Amino acid sequence: MSEEEWVATRWEKRSDLDTHTLGGVTIERHSSPFYQGERFSVRLDGSRRVLNIRGGWEFEPIPSNRDDEFYERCRFLSCEDAKNTLRKSEQKDAESYE
C-alpha cells in the first residue's frame, strides 16, 4: 500500500493562534470546477466574509450563488497574493484609526 500525500489547505496567523483569538483570519486553498488550478481565499473566521482583491471584505454567498465575478474578486492566484492583500488591508485599517 502506497503512502498517501497530504496537502495543507488552511493557514492561520500565528498571532491569532498564540492569543486564542476568536474570529481570526484564515487563508484557505481551493480547487473548483469553476476555475483552473488552485486559488486561495482570506476569511474572517466564524463569519461569511472574505477579502477581495481590492482589500475590502464582502459577504461570501453559498457555492450555488457564486458567479465568475465573485471568483475573480475573492479568490487569489497564490497564497502570497492573499497574504500581501491582507497585510495592505490591515495597514489601511490601522491608519484609519490613527
Print the domain residue range for 49.
Answer: 10-96
- What pLDDT is attached to residue 51? 97
- Establish if 81 belongs to a structural domain: yes
What does the alpha-carbon distance between residue 78 and residue 74 come to, in Å, rounded to a whole number? Answer: 12
Cα(first)–Cα(last) distance of the chain, in Å?
A: 59
- Establish if 52 belongs to a structural domain: yes
- Establish if 5 belongs to a structural domain: no
- For the segment 66-79, what is each residue's pLDDT rounded down to a tens digit? 999 999 999 999 99
More reliable by pLDDT, 14 or 78: 78
- For the segment 31-68, what is each residue's pLDDT rounded down to a tens digit? 988 788 899 999 987 789 999 999 999 999 999 999 99
- Number of separate domains in the chain: 1
What does the alpha-carbon distance between residue 34 and residue 42 come to, in Å, rounded to a whole number? Answer: 18
- Establish if 2 belongs to a structural domain: no
- Establish if 1 belongs to a structural domain: no
CB atoms near residue 53 (< 10 Å): 14
Is the pLDDT at 80 greater than 90, yes or no? yes
- Establish if 3 belongs to a structural domain: no
